[in-house]
Structure 1
């Protein structure tokens, strides 16, 4: 009887922990991004977009060699207040990332040490590619690529290795199967919750998919009960034209060339995954 009661208590605690995890968005931030004025303004703005169903926690990762007080003060000038600060070495960063499992890590594109720590910890990491745009944050519009971002890079690998025809055939053959979740699935899922409860938050899907490859993508999105404000299937077309029309604030893509094209119109965020991962040792 005691054992049964104990098991029930453990189950309740696990459920509570899961509910808490699903109602908190954890954003891990590379200290080197303090010099990126545009990103700091975005981070301050998104932190204010919390709602009853989703709170937001920001976590700073800095190197032991950096001066901590001026660093924190510089972030605070942009209105960024951190819930947790980890001022430590590479080994501890890897261990902490593995333990905390933030929904996303934003890193400077030259910080290979922190990126490597994230990959070792199976944490979704991305790099900020630009810092020269004017702020426009009354409303928050986040735009995401599909393959290797929302979805895994399973289909992307077929396309890159064997070409579009094989990719199209692969996706049609698997049209009744859900796509595996990608590195930013957890982050997007929580943005989706925020969108339902905060009119100032929107997210959209912008993907090169088209033709027969649409079916599997749409089926997966509907099964996950995600509700993007807009969906654009571009058939390999120029994504920057859509970003300009959307007046998007931040764009996530796994390909550098798409991030480069997006730079004039939004904060461009590179999401390295699978065949596109290249971390300097």
Structure 2
């Protein structure tokens, strides 16, 4: 019998899985009570897919009759009462999601660890930050577009620094500039970077990929980074030291990432920089990882007059 820990566990909020913008507007403009009544009144109205719906569908398609590789768990701020519409929609769309936590307005991140979650996706940035602080890979799903499911292969793209890797190198770049960054990365090319918040999730994907023949593997990953030579070598050596598989690596040297993500066919892209996520979300599903120096408050005393 398969051990519970063998599974990749994804926690997802209602608003990341389904399009709940209409009901969310009711909540913001009319309050909680009106929102609850709205959900009950529309209980039988099926929710349309949200930004992360295609990703979830492809993840669940990795399961077969003998092996449950992935479990998706709903972690929702809805109450059980208002969450009935969500479960009705899950059933309508044929998604095998059976476990859930409904917290009636409180943050559901407390249950991330209890469910053994490897990745938490939510539309609530505060919940995502709390999950990251607790040591779980997490990203804020931003409004935007996802590519049509033209192929069965699951394609996930990652930024490097502050996502797969720590923000050690990015701190040098932010604080001392590009030349200092390139010099430091060249000097430390043979020293693996410390892991970032998504290292464990990428390791789990690599483990699942190992179950398939590489020629027919239904998962494909990509590193899409603003790095370029000579800063590429440390990245390659780090992944090699970790025994982590990356199928494609794009070293863009500062070029806009969005069109490359579309060319790759990403089902989702994870980046720590809000500007990169915003432009990517115009073409593919994107998640903001609020981690590292790019997401720390700016000390006004350190900002030059420019």
Shift of 1:131: 4.1
Question: Who is 1:231 aligned against?
Answer: 249
Alpha-carbon distance change, 84 to 258 in structure 1, aligned in 2, over 3 angstroms: same
Point out the structure with the larger helix share. Answer: 1
**Normalising by the residue count of structure 1, what TM-score does the alignment of the two structures yield?**
0.82
Question: Who is 2:14 aligned against?
Answer: 31
1:48-71 deviation line (CA, Å, top 9, x unaligned): 124778711111111254612111
Structure 1's unaligned 5+ residue stretches are 1-16
C-alpha distance in 2 between matches for 1:75 and 1:258: 31
1:156-190 deviation line (CA, Å, top 9, x unaligned): 11111211111112212222211111111111112
Aligned length: 260
Question: Who is 2:92 aligned against?
Answer: 77
Question: Who is 2:59 aligned against?
Answer: 46
Q: Secondary structure at the match of 1:237?
A: coil
Question: Who is 1:262 aligned against?
Answer: 280
The answer to whether the Cα contact below 8 Å between 2:147 and 2:265 also exists between their aligned partners in 1 is no
Within the candidate set 89, 109, 118, 1:103 is matched to 118
Query: What is the RMSD of the two structures over their aligned residues, measured on CA atoms?
Result: 2.7
Alpha-carbon distance change, 252 to 120 in structure 1, aligned in 2, over 3 angstroms: closer
Question: Who is 2:183 aligned against?
Answer: 169
Alpha-carbon distance change, 200 to 170 in structure 1, aligned in 2, over 3 angstroms: same
Shift of 1:251: 1.4
| Most deviating of 189-198 and 48-57 | 48-57
C-alpha distance in 1 between matches for 2:97 and 2:59: 13
Shift of 1:100: 3.6
Alpha-carbon distance change, 165 to 91 in structure 1, aligned in 2, over 3 angstroms: same
1:114-172 deviation line (CA, Å, top 9, x unaligned): 22431342222101123434521422111111111111111111111211111112212
**Normalising by the residue count of structure 2, what TM-score does the alignment of the two structures yield?**
0.76
Q: Secondary structure at the match of 2:163?
A: helix
Shift of 1:248: 2.4
Structure 2's unaligned 5+ residue stretches are 20-48, 298-306
